[in-house]
Amino acid sequence: MLKLYGGAFSRAAIAKWYLEELEIPYEFVQLDMQAGEHHQPEFLQINPMGKVPAIVDEDFQLWESGAILLYLNEKYGKSSAFPEERAKIYQWVLFANSTLASGIFTESTREREVPRLLTPLNEIFQKQPFVLGDEFSVADVAVGSILAYIPMMLKLDLSAYPAVLEYINRISERPAFKKGIGGKP
């Protein structure tokens, strides 16, 4: 059975959300980050960087939330045979983990970055319900998780971005989101 390693309030929730969407059986191994379990030799064999999330899928080990999402999509999801379609997914997952996350969560640049990032996202969500169009995908897990953390953690005023707010509400109602990120059964 696939094992997902994470801590309380860690980015492992993102991988957990996608595992729930895929309905893949998994075991969540919660590490006590306060006690330093992520720096113990057993876990460092899985991720020598000592960070979560990480997965073990049979004999395969992987860490970094974006890499985990892409792997799960390739192995268990609806991965396209077309490299161009897969590249769009990679683009959005990488955007979420680097550009969007740093723009939203880096306090020193947030005031400048939020409008620069959320304005085009708002325009996208005015035209379509999900990142890539009419169907939910792993790109929505990546982008949606970052956006959903805004009202949970930052309490920023998003009233200038009504389509982003609708998107956050739409994905937050998904049962898998509630199990993965929302912490509800």
Q: Assess whether pLDDT exceeds 60 at residue 137.
A: yes
Last residue of a domain, one of 58, 76, 94: 76
- pLDDT score for 184: 53
- pLDDT score for 25: 96
Higher pLDDT: 9 or 153? It is: 153
- pLDDT score for 182: 77
User: What number is the average pLDDT over the span 89-111?
Assistant: 96
Residues 93, 169, single domain; the answer is: yes
Last residue of a domain, one of 27, 45, 76: 76
Residues 117, 159, single domain; the answer is: yes
The count of structural domains within the chain is: 2
Bridge partners (DSSP) of residue 62 are: 55
User: What number is the average pLDDT over the span 102-110?
Assistant: 96
Q: Assess whether pLDDT exceeds 70 at residue 183.
A: no
Q: Assess whether pLDDT exceeds 60 at residue 181.
A: yes
Bridge partners (DSSP) of residue 56 are: 3, 61
Residue % of the chain over a pLDDT of 90: 91
Confidence of residue 81 (pLDDT cuts 50, 70, 90): confident
Domain that holds residue 112: 83-181
Residues 111, 128, single domain; the answer is: yes
Residues 122, 60, single domain; the answer is: no
Residues 71, 91, single domain; the answer is: no
CATH number at residue 143: 1.20.1050.10
How far is it, in rounded angstroms, from Cα 22 to Cα 79?
Answer: 12
Residues 95, 137, single domain; the answer is: yes
Residues 114, 162, single domain; the answer is: yes
Taken in order 95, 104, 18, 8, is the CA torsion positive or negative?
positive
Residues 91, 174, single domain; the answer is: yes
- pLDDT score for 6: 96
CATH number at residue 50: 3.40.30.10
User: What number is the average pLDDT over the span 6-20?
Assistant: 93
Q: Assess whether pLDDT exceeds 60 at residue 157.
A: yes
- pLDDT score for 155: 83
Q: Which of 2-11, 40-49, 74-83, 170-179 has the lowest mean pLDDT?
A: 74-83
- pLDDT score for 79: 79
Q: State the SS3 of the chain.
A: CEEEEEECCCCHHHHHHHHHHHCCCEEEEEECCCCCHHHCHHHHCCCCCCCCCEEEECCEEEECHHHHHHHHHHHHCCCCCCHHHHHHHHHHHHHHHHHHHHHHHCHHHHHHHHHHHHHHHHHHHHHCCECCECCCCHHHHHHHHHHHHHHHHHCCCCCCCHHHHHHHHHHHCCHHHHHHCCCCC
Residues 45, 103, single domain; the answer is: no
Residues 159, 88, single domain; the answer is: yes
Contact between residue 33 and residue 153 where contact means Cβ atoms under 8 Å apart: no
Residues 17, 39, single domain; the answer is: yes
Last residue of a domain, one of 76, 93, 119: 76
24-66 per-position pLDDT tens digit: 999 999 999 999 999 999 999 999 999 999 999 999 999 999 9
- pLDDT score for 9: 82
Residues 88, 70, single domain; the answer is: no
